[in-house]
Each structure stands twice: as structure tokens, then as C-alpha cells.
Amino acid sequence: MQVFRLHGARDLRQHEEPVPVPGAGESLVRVTAVGICGSDIHWFLEGGIGESRVTQPLVLGHECAGVIASGQRRGERVAIDPGIPCGTCAFCQEGHPNLCAHVYFAGCEADDGALREYIAWPTHGLHPLPEALSDADGAMLEPLGVALFSVELAHLKPGMTVGVFGCGPIGLLVLQVARLAGAARLIATDKLAHRREVARSFGATVFPASDGREGADVLAATGGQGVDVAFEAAGANEAVAAAVTAVRPGGKVILVGIPTEDHTVFNAHTARRKGLTLKLVHRMQHTYPRAIRLVAQGLVDVRSLVTHRFPLAETVQAYALAQRREGLKVIIEP
């Protein structure tokens, strides 16, 4: 089968490898859709994220869907949950599997992901896709799960005003989930005009991002009161600064983005004077069943966010396009 492995920064190579043999409790899955995430771009461009580095050729890809090719569920279309926690550590037992220190997470460090034709995966992590959902929709359930978890961390209440700083796929999904959670007003910023237009289509008032100065624009748009919750989804310190400026005293700033330099910087005096609560998002918790229902019932639109599709053989071209931020979500279809 065809496999793409990352050997180091900007070094994706195609390999021919045997089809994996499922172990106990696993199913063989024919991969049909793999999304390129912002974290994948970090791995591709930098050879890692923070202290996590490529130490051996790594198969990327954690936003994925496929068709079960073995066992009693053979032929079933599924979304693949990329995180398999141990289930026994204190974090797992306390209901925080996203913090499990022993998690196997597809496409991270030494854990191979789905950028290949077949993958052997724990059967309990394979979620059936309704007929109404396409394979690409199934791959989009992982970023939707991150958006769901981000909004849950904010404890969003009906009637609140929400700001989203960064309108890539995650930010656009946060907008939609915040609206469902009862946000009365949505405000969004991004550097790219086409992303601002999509945010506008989801009901947001939009402003161009400009080195953090857009925070003052958002603050002015709320009559100086500020947004109740600010979601930073750009992975840039300028967006963090804008969020801190734009949020009201006593408000929350939810940091969803992954910064390139692995340092988050903001004005401590402003944040302290406002008494802000800052929370950082790490993956998700038990979101797949809810994400499937939201998409199947038409409450969240993931399909329009997919702007480019590539066959597996053109993975290098797909990553080149994704890093240029020309569209929204890039899907590879093995």
C-alpha cells in the first residue's frame, strides 16, 4: 500500500509498505478521507510542535474516515477517533482522556496516523457514519470536536457576545458551535478576506486582523464593553493580544491555536487588571457522537469548509497548498 511519511521538516516521502494486520480488538480500515490540520502544518514545516519532534519517519493524519475492511463490521463507513487513551490512569478515570499521558494519538510523535491506504485501529474508536454524511464530513468531525470542547471550556451562556480571532476551519466551527450554544452576537477577525467572508456567512460581524490592533475595533463594536468570551484560533501572539484587548473585565480567553514559536505572549497588566480567565485547549473529550448528530441534523455545516481535494499520490502538493492558506480545509482521499 502507499504511505507518506514525514522524515523531517518539509520532507514528506512516499513509501510502499505492507497492509497492516489488525491485532486483538482492532479492525482493518481502508482510509477514504484525511484532513490536513493546522497542527499537521506545524509538523510539516517545523518537524514537530514544541518539544515533540520527529524522531523516526512519521505518518501524519488525525482527521480521518474510512471503510472497515475486516471483521463483523466489514463494509461499514466510519469516522476514526484519532485518540486512544489508556483508560486506566488518573486523568482517564477522572473524565479527562485528552490529558492521558499514555494516549496513542494518530500522527503525533511516534504514533503513526492515517496518511496511507489502510490503517489498523481499535474497533471501539470507529464511529459509524450516517448515510447523510460523506467521508470528508467524517474527517471533519475531529476539528468539530475541538470546537465543541473549546466552547465547553468557555461555559458559554445564552445571550453572550463571542469574539473569534482567527477564521480557519477551527475558528469557523467555533463560530457555529457558539451560535448553537446561545451566543447572541458573533464577532470575528482574520487576515484573509475569503475567511472573513465565510465568517460573515455564519452570522459574524467581521474585522480584518492587523497585528493585534483589531482588538480595539472589536472593543469599539461592543460599545467599549468587550466580548464575554474571546476564542483565539490563529496560533499567533497578535491574535492573543487582540483577544485580551477585546474581552470584557472578568471575561474568558480560550486559546485554541498552536503558536509557531511555542511561546504565548500578551499584556499581563491588561489581563491582570481585567481579572481574565485564560484556558488552553488540548484536543477534545468524548465529542464524536454529538458531532455526528450536529452534522447529520444540519445544525453545523462542515461540508462547505472543504475547499480542496487531492489523491494520496499528490500529498506533497496538498501540503504545499495548505501551508499557503489559500482555501479552508484540504482533504486527501486515498
Instruction: Return the percent helix, strand and coil in the chain, to nearest 5.
Output: 30, 30, 40
Structurally, at CATH architecture level, domain 2-140+302-333 sits in: Alpha-Beta Complex (3.90)
d(CA 282, CA 311): 30
For residue 329, what are the CA distances in angstroms to 49, 87, 143, 172, 260? Answer: 20, 31, 10, 11, 19
Give the containing element (helix H, strand E) for 159.
Answer: none
Task: Give the pLDDT of residue 113.
Answer: 98
Measured in degrees and rounded to the nearest 5, phi and psi for residue 38 equal -60, -35
Maximum Cα–Cα distance for the chain, whole Å?
61
Q: Identify whether the C-beta of residue 256 lies closer than 8 Å to the C-beta of residue 232.
A: yes
Residues of the chain with CATH 3.40.50.720: 146-280
Please state the pTM of the whole predicted model.
Answer: 0.96
* Residue range 146-280 in CATH 3.40.50.720: yes
Helix and strand counts by DSSP (H, E) for the chain: 11, 19
DSSP 3-state assignment of 187?
Answer: strand
Measured in degrees and rounded to the nearest 5, phi and psi for residue 157 equal -115, 150
d(CA 226, CA 264): 21
Candidates 171, 172, 202, 169; CA nearest to 185 is 202
Q: Helix crossing, 169-180 with 141-154: angle to 10°?
A: 50
d(CA 6, CA 2): 14
**Which residues of the chain carry a pLDDT beneath 70?**
none
142's CB contacts (< 8 A; 6+ apart) are 35, 37, 62, 63, 64, 79, 81, 82, 284
Taking the CB of residue 269, how many other CB atoms lie within 10 A of it? 8
d(CA 198, CA 45): 26
58's CB contacts (< 8 A; 6+ apart) are 5, 6, 43, 107, 109, 110, 112, 113
DSSP 3-state assignment of 113?
Answer: coil
Task: Give the pLDDT of residue 262.
Answer: 83
Outline where DSSP puts E strands in the chain. Answer: 2-8, 11-16, 26-35, 48-49, 52-53, 63-68, 77-80, 83-84, 104-105, 118-122, 126-128, 161-165, 185-190, 204-208, 227-232, 247-255, 277-280, 306-311, 329-333
Residues of the chain with CATH 3.90.180.10: 2-140+302-333
Task: Give the pLDDT of residue 11.
Answer: 96
Measured in degrees and rounded to the nearest 5, phi and psi for residue 35 equal -85, 150
Task: Give the pLDDT of residue 71.
Answer: 86
Distance of CA 163 to the CA centre of its chain: 18
